[in-house]
Amino acid sequence: MEFPLELALTYIGAGVLLGLSAVGAAVGVGNIGNSFLQGIARQPEMLPMLRIQMFIVLGLVDAVPMIGVGMGLFILFGNPFTPN
């Protein structure tokens, strides 16, 4: 049985999509945490306001990689490129 090149490239692309979305989320969350701690170190009285803003931005930053994970899993398990 022959394994088509298109199917192999699809799996490689899905793996890259899953990996890069995880790396992007980790870098984004790290930068947000860094900025939050720097802001608290400069002005400790701003803690409640900065905490609320940090959690809102964390939710927005994590939403984009989750869309990428969903697309990658769709390509892996509901592959539209497989022959019938």
DSSP 8-state secondary structure symbol assigned to residue 3: -
To 10 degrees, the CA torsion angle through 22, 17, 55, 53? 120
By annotation, the residues acting in catalysis are: 62
φ, ψ of residue 79 to 5 degrees: the values are -60, 115
